[in-house]
Structure 1
């Protein structure tokens, strides 16, 4: 690998990590806004989205520039391809954080609504998955990436419990249908964040092993 390519790849990956820090904070603050019904925090999340969108385009342009100028092969080509894919997942995670903020706006109109349990636990799990997926990328740690993939099942189970709790709540009090729908939507957004963290982890497996881990069926190991 040439020194110029090495330098450009290192700069590219640092920009991606800077992006991931902003996105992770967006998810944390969006979930906090929902838990505390704080609309003021939502404005912070919305402001961060503009930064994420701008940086996403910058990172993609950097990737294309590296491909055009250096024509990388083998593992270097996989590194650029992986950054491109992770970049897209991070932007979608940021969008989901904004969606959670929108649910905060809606639920703030129902301050007496008693939110079912487990959403906080889901959010903590999803945020930790995003963080660990990016750590696995930095460290090229396939085992950590596989652990992130496995933890998606935990978030899915928590989401199922939330759905069950919401259904029971509606059956008990039909006047809670609208806030319950907003709460369910927020839960779904958190579950999707975990899915994107899984995508990132699978991309790390591809980067290190050259093995495409997507669409594996139950019982087939990563």
Structure 2
């Protein structure tokens, strides 16, 4: 019995370390989203370069978490709820790493837009970045609390990001048609917007994994016009 208690305590401590790493990674990625868009709007080359370098820290933390998770599975052989917890940490760490990559990609566009004057559709970018950053923040909160309902709410908010992306896409398309000289800069901004839209998708993926870890069930794909979060059987 003593051995069993020791094993459970050791597992809980290892899992707490995984959770702490996920939280730290998430905080870095969330900040990177905001800073990347600010650097773009301000044409701040120094901030953009720093963001590109700092992404290596998120990459290293994901590699560390992956090693810890594999070791935890090998040593503790977790089952059912415990295994889902470890897999959720792995999945969410991967999502955060990708979000960091997307922020880095935005930062890399800053030098390419250095000499470009302000383009009216750029005004949509801060709202889009805020919506994505809030999704990332809230999905991390949902993970920390194992809150299935909060995870569903994050999924629902991805539509807001998609709507903003579509709005920006249409505005930039019109902008390019009105003045072909704006095509180059507008293309860069479309790339930025697509990176933000993909961040929202990844936050949704993390929320779906949180829901699964908390309930043992998956959020099913839904056809248009029906309940988007009907839970399947089994």
Is TM-score (shorter-chain normalized) higher than 0.5? yes
2:94 corresponds in structure 1 to 88
Q: CA deviation at 1:120?
A: 0.9
Residues in 2 aligned to 1:27 and 1:184: alpha-carbon distance in whole angstroms:
16
What is the CA distance between 1:174 and its match in structure 2?
Answer: 0.9
Asked if residue 119 in structure 1 is aligned to residue 138 in structure 2, the reply is no
The structural deviation recorded for 1:213 is 2.1
Measured after TM superposition, the shift of residue 106 of structure 1 is 1.1
Of 45, 56, 61, the residue aligned with 2:51 is 45
- Which structure 1 residue ranges, 4+ long, deviate > 4 Å from structure 2? none
When the two chains are superposed, the root-mean-square deviation of aligned CA atoms in Å is 1.3
Q: CA offsets, 1:124-170, max 9 Å, x none?
A: 00000000000000011112111110010011011000011001111
Q: Flag structure 1 segments of 5+ consecutive residues without an equivalent.
A: none
Structure 1 position 44, deviation (Å): 1.7
> Are the equivalent residues in 2 in contact too, given 1:133–1:148 (CA < 8 A)?
yes
Q: d(CA) in 2 for partners of 1:216 and 1:98?
A: 32
* Alpha-carbon distance in 2 for matches of 1:155, 1:41: 25
Cα separation, 2, equivalents of 1:156 and 1:7: 39
Rounded to whole Å, the distance in 2 between the matches of 1:215 and 1:65 is 33
TM-score, normalising length: structure 2: 0.91
Contact 2:52 2:108 in 1 (8 A): no
Matched, 1:174 2:180: yes
Q: How many positions carry a matched residue from both structures?
A: 221
Moved more, 207-216 or 14-23: 207-216
In the alignment, structure 1 residue 19 sits paired with structure 2 residue 28? no
Q: 1:214 to 1:57 in 2, by over 3 A?
A: farther
Give the alignment partner of residue 202 of structure 1, picking from 197, 208, 211.
Answer: 208
Matched-pair contact (CA < 8 Å) for 1:34–1:101: yes
8 Å contact kept, 2:221–2:228: no
Tell me, in whole angstroms, the C-alpha distance in 2 between the residues paired with 1:66 and 1:50: 24
Q: Deviations over 1:73-131 (max 9, x none)?
A: 01100000101100110110000001111122211131x24241311111000000000
Report matched runs for 1:26-37 at 5 Å. 26-37=32-43
TM-score calculated relative to the size of structure 1: 0.96
Among 51, 56, 65, the residue aligned to 2:62: 56
